[in-house]
């Protein structure tokens, strides 16, 4: 598949956007917004796509859109049940300081690999690909360690 422009790619994958909306985020009142979100997600995915990783573009976009709309569905469900703040809270330096202390304590509970991946991912804003190159591990392993570390940190809060 050779495409001239991003618009051609978006048009080619529009049925995929629509099918993912119907499967994972079927909110008729948000349909047009969800289509636009899907288009934006495709454009973001195109910037991150690297053919050298061995993935094919259609498969990459399929997985990316599925994940995006599943997450969107989770967020909408939580928002509808009142679990998500719609308005951001005001700035409170005391709360921010407490949160930093808590995060530092939780990071200490992680093993070295998990801690390093969390720090690279969130504090240094590295991508999974960059982290995999730095650590000489696969991107799948990066995501696994990141997920495991976040789960440990969540359990440490409870």
Tens of pLDDT along 32-42?
888 999 999 99
Residues 99 and 78 in one domain: no
Average pLDDT over residues 130-158: 89
pLDDT at position 132 over 90: yes
Per-residue pLDDT, 155: 85
How far apart (Å, rounded) are the C-alpha atoms in residues 158 and 147? 17
Q: Quick one: 135 exposed, middle or buried, by C-beta within 10 A (0-12, 13-18, 19+)?
A: middle
Q: 72 and 107 in contact (C-beta within 8 Å)?
A: no
Residues 60 and 108 in one domain: no
63-86: pLDDT as tens digits: 999 888 888 877 777 776 665 555
Residues 104 and 86 in one domain: no
CA atoms in the 13 A half-sphere facing the CB of 110: 24
Per-residue pLDDT, 88: 56
Per-residue pLDDT, 144: 92
Domain count, the chain: 2
Which strand (E) or helix (H) includes residue 68? Answer: helix 57-80
CATH code of the domain covering residue 132:
1.10.10.10
Residues 75 and 152 in one domain: no
Owning domain of residue 129: 92-157
Residue ending a domain, among 41, 74, 91, is 91
Residue ending a domain, among 91, 109, 134, is 91
Confidence of residue 148 (pLDDT cuts 50, 70, 90): very high
Per-residue pLDDT, 125: 84
Per-residue pLDDT, 82: 65
Residues 47 and 96 in one domain: no
CB neighbourhood size of 36 (10 A): 12
Residues 45 and 97 in one domain: no
Residue ending a domain, among 44, 69, 91, is 91
Average confidence score pLDDT of the chain: 83
80-121: pLDDT as tens digits: 666 555 555 666 777 778 888 888 888 999 999 999 999 998
pLDDT at position 152 over 70: yes
Per-residue pLDDT, 158: 60
Residues 47 and 87 in one domain: yes
Residues 31 and 84 in one domain: yes
Per-residue pLDDT, 89: 60
Residues 103 and 52 in one domain: no
Residues 82 and 101 in one domain: no
Residues 73 and 109 in one domain: no
Q: Determine what percent of the chain is predicted with pLDDT higher than 70.
A: 89
Residues 75 and 116 in one domain: no
């Amino acid at each position: 598949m050779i495409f001239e422009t991003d618009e051609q790619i978006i048009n080619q994958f529009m049925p995929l956007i629509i099918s993912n909306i119907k499967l994972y985020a079927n909110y008729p009142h948000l349909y047009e917004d969800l289509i636009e979100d899907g288009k934006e997600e495709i454009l973001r995915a195109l910037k991150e796509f690297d053919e050298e990783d061995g993935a094919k573009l259609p498969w990459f976009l399929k997985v990316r859109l599925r994940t995006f709309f599943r997450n969107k569905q989770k967020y909408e469900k939580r928002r509808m049940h009142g679990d998500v703040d719609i308005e951001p809270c005001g700035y409170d330096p005391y709360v921010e300081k407490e949160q930093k202390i808590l995060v530092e304590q939780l990071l200490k509970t992680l093993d070295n690999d998990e801690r390093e991946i969390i720090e690279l991912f969130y504090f240094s804003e590295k991508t999974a690909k960059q982290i995999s190159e730095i650590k000489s591990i696969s991107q799948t392993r990066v995501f696994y360690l990141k997920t495991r570390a976040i789960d440990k940190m969540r359990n440490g809060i409870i």
